[in-house]
Structure 1
Amino acid sequence: MSRKLLEKTYFKALNKVKAKNIVKDNVSLEDNILIINNEKIDLNKIDNLYVFSVGKAGFSMAKQCEKILGNKIKDGVAISTSRGKLKYIKHYTSSHPVVSKKSIKVGEKLLKKVKQLKKNDYFIFFLSGGASAVIEKPIDGLNLEDFTKISKALLVSGIDIKALNSVRKSISQIKGGKLANEIKANGKVLVLSDVIGDDINTIGSAPMNNGKFEHKIIGNNEIALKASKKYIESKVDKTKILTTTLDKNSIDATKYIKQKIKKYDEKYDSFCLLIGGETTTNPKGNGKGGRNQELALRLLLEKVVNKKISLLCAGSDGIDGNSDANGAFVDNDIYKKIDELKIDAKKYLENSDSNSFFKSLGYDFTIGITGTNVMDFIIVIKER
């Protein structure tokens, strides 16, 4: 039952911040009045309505917006890692996590389109995590090869997302509000946050944040975990969202989680601990894995689970590092399998090969790309 309960708790969080729900909750149409976060825009008083949507959730957010607004949308551009066609908005598939020729090509298309907007037009701009890579136009004088070298070095450096995006902005003609500088029309930016503290200067490297346009967070880790809490709290004695801003390296995060599990295990017969945020890791060796699977492996080695306690560490975007998994489970039964197969967990950790470890034991959590991204979920459940 423990794995099923962990999965159900995870999906309650994930579904709350899927594009269909967050767009539906924040965009509506009554007669010819566009309503965005309770603000009303009379479409009779504008010339054209444009919709832009960029990031991992770019396609799914644009698709849901089309369902709501239909032919009220004059034009627009959506850029994501997904494949698919839209009716009123042009959709382009781009690359992630490294900027490619595709990123630059579609970045140029986006720039060209936003420059066409006139003063009496109006736009909705959906921004989600991953925008830093899916759209790009390097500064003049910097070619793709050099840009790629810088980007790859940053990705494997282990630095946090804020520092990463700061460097990205300095070598871009789109990031850091530079895209917004090209827009003459009025509009609103609706944000699906994938960063600690929902800092709009960091999300997607802030292409629209030049101080001119209002940004509204419509989906984040806290909104997601509150949905999990609502679901699980009737099934255990105590439910607690410990944090939605976990920002530690995997070693320190392991110590933090171990300490919290011990505290609640001593006090409650059953509980659910919900932790959101993003850990960092320094990859070694040539293995497959990601921060969530590495964290799960470290927690396994610390023996934080028992017959009643199990856990899941997983991303919300469906991708964990360079693997096809999203995360991993840990429960008491896994130790029997490790002994039976004579597997050395420490060696997998040393080679940053957490995915191969969990996959060989049937403990990987693989669900595919989710179309959303609000960082990671760590769920610990003690059953009665």
Structure 2
Amino acid sequence: MSERDDFFKALLTQVFEAGVLAAQPQRAIESAWHEHLLPWLEQLAPERERIWVFGAGKAAASMAKALEDVAGSTEALQGFVVTRRGHAVKTNVIEVVQAAHPVPDEDGQRAARRLYKAISEVPSSDAVIALVSGGGSSLLSVPVKDIPFVDLQQLNRALLSCGAPIDEMNIVRKHVTQTLGGQLAQVCRAPVFQLLISDVPGDDPSSIASGPFSPDESTFHDAVEVLRRWEVQVPHSISRYLDKGVRGGVPDTPKRSSLVFRKVRTQLLASNLKSLEAATELLESKGYRVLNLGDTLEGEARDVARVHAAIVRQAATGQGGWPTGPLAILSGGECTVTLNDTQLRQARGGRNSEFLLALAFYLRDLKAEVEIAAMAADTDGIDGIGGHAGALMLPGDKLLCKAAKLAPQLHLDQHTSYDYFKQLDRLLMTGPTMTNVNDLRVILIGEP
């Protein structure tokens, strides 16, 4: 690898690490404990015998460990959290249960049923701290009694491959489960303080892990519309139940006006926006001007890449009024990749590596005097299928691609971005980061 490639690889890796560090819960939970949680406990649960800790998500275990570190010596903590397999950390008193993600499995269902029961039995004089992060939707999936668990699994697979944005997928999930869309708050008699790590654009609490402790303003009708709009085929048990809900045959999820939310307090600990801010600070310290496109970008991965490529073309050639280089373009949010049944079986990669492969393809004929490098990765360390966090695009890749006789468009069409970047040795391999605030995309134009 050339010296310039080494420079860009090191810098892009540093940017990713800075974004992930900004999303780690330790410091944020310590601050929240002293500034917010302790006063809240004294006000709403002064006679508490213990604090019950429950949670779900990819960051749930690291959040539990951080809470133990700050509160374990002064409070009696009890409870458990559910996290994705491979995302567990060692805790002292708060149990960590692991289950499958993104399609729920039997371990997850058992843990979610146990959590539902435990929360409903917490005495009203005690308090609950809920640790909620991205990934919790599948880890807390207990279907309503009219829907078999296998049908809920099939629904999740269909939603994941249809191309719908995460907030719309969550609307459906909330209306076919007993645990999401504010329903855990509904069965809890004790006051609840929920700490959130957001993986959704806009950081709406009702969308983070499908808002188990947050009011849900969506309806059964909205859920049916999502399935219709994205042409999602679902099992008959699910369509029957949703139709029953539309007719008013079963209660909808609790809304903002419900009295159950008077006892719920919410605080956001980390988000995609905060990670983008950390990345911006690092890049500016290295001499880059930063164009931050924000944390709410959504859409098909290759379509988002096409827009980014258009900006890069203009900025790299001094057109369009974009800032002059060296320039860094940042964006967050969450792309989607739509797959049919055949593509779903053969796909290898994820939304970030697909975005980056599309970006490389759209810039394949760019002739500019400045070098272009890029990275796209999921802050949880796992980008789809392959065990990679994402991938890198370096200036020397065009020559490597030609020498290896790789066909970028073929890999795009087959959704095998993992194979493409593996052959170039450009996969970003980090392992689970124990947090999750969505995607981080960085494009560098020029070198300081």
TM-score for both structures, normalised by structure 1 = 0.93
Measured after TM superposition, the shift of residue 193 of structure 1 is 0.5
1:20-44 deviation per Cα after TM superposition (whole angstroms, max 9, x unaligned): 233233223xxxxxx4268453375
Q: 1:3 aligns with which of 5, 9, 12?
A: 9
Which residue in 2 is equivalent to 1:59?
61
Measured after TM superposition, the shift of residue 339 of structure 1 is 1.0
1:237, 1:268 within 8 Å by CA — same for their partners in 2? no
Which residue in 2 is equivalent to 1:275?
331
- What is the rounded CA distance, in whole Å, between the counterparts of 2:124 and 2:277 in structure 1? 40
Q: Which 10-residue stretch deviates more, 176-185 or 143-152?
A: 143-152
Which residue in 1 is equivalent to 2:424?
361
Cα 1:268–1:156 shift into 2, 3 Å? same
- What is the rounded CA distance, in whole Å, between the counterparts of 2:131 and 2:76 in structure 1? 14
Which residue in 2 is equivalent to 1:173?
178
- What is the rounded CA distance, in whole Å, between the counterparts of 1:260 and 1:25 in structure 2? 39
- What is the rounded CA distance, in whole Å, between the counterparts of 2:125 and 2:396 in structure 1? 63
Which residue in 1 is equivalent to 2:309?
258
Counting strand residues as a fraction of each chain, which structure ranks higher?
1
Q: 1:352 aligns with which of 396, 411, 415?
A: 415
- What is the rounded CA distance, in whole Å, between the counterparts of 2:288 and 2:59 in structure 1? 35
**Are 1:242 and 2:293 matched, yes or no?**
yes
The one-letter code of the counterpart of 1:141 is D
Q: 1:187 aligns with which of 189, 192, 199?
A: 192
Aligned pair count reads: 378
2:197, 2:271 within 8 Å by CA — same for their partners in 1? yes
- What is the rounded CA distance, in whole Å, between the counterparts of 2:392 and 2:380 in structure 1? 17
1:6-27 deviation per Cα after TM superposition (whole angstroms, max 9, x unaligned): 1111111110111223323322
The one-letter code of the counterpart of 1:76 is G
Gaps of 5+ in 1: 29-34
Q: 2:266 aligns with which of 203, 208, 215?
A: 215
Measured after TM superposition, the shift of residue 321 of structure 1 is 1.3
- Name the SS for the 1:196 alignment partner: coil
- What is the rounded CA distance, in whole Å, between the counterparts of 1:77 and 1:107 in structure 2? 11
Q: 1:150 aligns with which of 128, 151, 155?
A: 155
1:94, 1:135 within 8 Å by CA — same for their partners in 2? no
Which residue in 1 is equivalent to 2:228?
none
Which residue in 2 is equivalent to 1:319?
382
**Are 1:41 and 2:41 matched, yes or no?**
yes
Q: Which runs of 4+ in 1 moved over 4 A?
A: 37-40, 304-307
1:15, 1:21 within 8 Å by CA — same for their partners in 2? no
Alignment of 1:69-108 (within 5 A): 69-71=71-73, 72-81=75-84, 82-108=87-113
- What is the rounded CA distance, in whole Å, between the counterparts of 2:38 and 2:108 in structure 1? 34
Counting helix residues as a fraction of each chain, which structure ranks higher?
2
Which residue in 2 is equivalent to 1:199?
204
The one-letter code of the counterpart of 2:295 is T
Cα 1:37–1:221 shift into 2, 3 Å? farther
Cα 1:335–1:159 shift into 2, 3 Å? same
Gaps of 5+ in 2: 1-6, 216-255
- What is the rounded CA distance, in whole Å, between the counterparts of 2:423 and 2:59 in structure 1? 31
Quick one: percent identity of the two aligned structures?
26
- What is the rounded CA distance, in whole Å, between the counterparts of 1:112 and 1:237 in structure 2? 52
- What is the rounded CA distance, in whole Å, between the counterparts of 2:265 and 2:311 in structure 1? 38
1:60, 1:371 within 8 Å by CA — same for their partners in 2? yes
- Name the SS for the 1:279 alignment partner: strand
Which residue in 1 is equivalent to 2:24?
18
- Name the SS for the 1:41 alignment partner: helix
TM-score for both structures, normalised by structure 2 = 0.81
- Name the SS for the 1:264 alignment partner: helix
Q: Which 10-residue stretch deviates more, 334-343 or 77-86?
A: 77-86
